[in-house]
């Protein structure tokens, strides 16, 4: 069976930056399962998987516009450390911040005595990503999986809807 809209795909993957630094991999653990067309994967990867079948292995490079987008300098902001009163703010912390456009995830990228620099860009924005993919299984999604929008294991999905 070939991967198409509403297929459940089981796969192993490794993703690296353009310079070969591994970012993530499923190969030492459980394979990833998702429903094709559910927008669970970045667009460039999902597009490349379309039409593949169990046993196919391939590598591809995904440009930022088909991955996590370009970086936007205006999403890096310096805010007074006093906004974090009572908190021990450290580089790498992530939290939700209120913006004019609603809540947004931000990461702390620098801390001084008086200021905190936060970045609202996705950590992988602006990067071309290299993938090595192995398709292990392809099947039709069940009606319940399609209704819930995610893959269920043999015992169901383990939560209430």
**What tens digit of pLDDT does each residue of 71-83 get?**
999 999 999 999 8
Three-class DSSP category at 111: strand
Tokens linked to 15 = 């993703």
Is CATH 3.40.50.10330 correct for 7-68+125-148? no
Tokens linked to 96 = 């939700």
Report the distance separating Cα 68 and Cα 128, nearest Å: 9
What local confidence, expressed as pLDDT, does residue 40 receive? 93
CA angle, residues 148, 152, 157, in degrees to nearest 5: 75
Over residues 89-99, the mean pLDDT reads 87
Over residues 106-135, the mean pLDDT reads 95
pLDDT one-digit tens code per residue, 128-154: 999 999 999 999 999 999 988 889 875
Is CATH 1.10.3720.10 correct for 73-119? no
Confidence of residue 9 (pLDDT cuts 50, 70, 90): very high
Share of the chain above pLDDT 90, in %: 81
- Whether the Cβ atoms of residue 96 and residue 105 lie closer than 8 Å to each other: yes
| Domain residue ranges in the chain | 7-68+125-148, 73-119
């Amino acid at each position: 069976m070939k991967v198409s809209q509403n297929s459940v795909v089981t796969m192993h993957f490794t993703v690296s930056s353009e310079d070969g630094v591994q970012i993530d991999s499923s190969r030492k653990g459980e394979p990833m399962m998702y429903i094709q067309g559910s927008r669970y994967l970045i667009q460039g990867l999902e597009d490349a998987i379309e039409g593949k079948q169990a046993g196919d292995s391939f590598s591809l490079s995904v440009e930022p516009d088909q991955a996590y987008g370009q970086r936007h300098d205006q999403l890096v902001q310096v805010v007074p450390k006093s906004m974090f009163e009572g908190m021990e703010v450290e580089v790498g912390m992530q939290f939700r911040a209120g913006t004019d456009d609603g809540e947004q995830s931000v990461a702390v990228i620098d801390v001084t005595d008086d200021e905190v620099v936060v970045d609202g860009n996705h950590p992988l924005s602006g990067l071309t990503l290299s993938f090595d993919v192995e398709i292990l299984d392809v099947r039709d999604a069940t009606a319940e999986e399609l209704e819930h929008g995610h893959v269920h294991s043999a015992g169901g999905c383990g939560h209430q809807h």
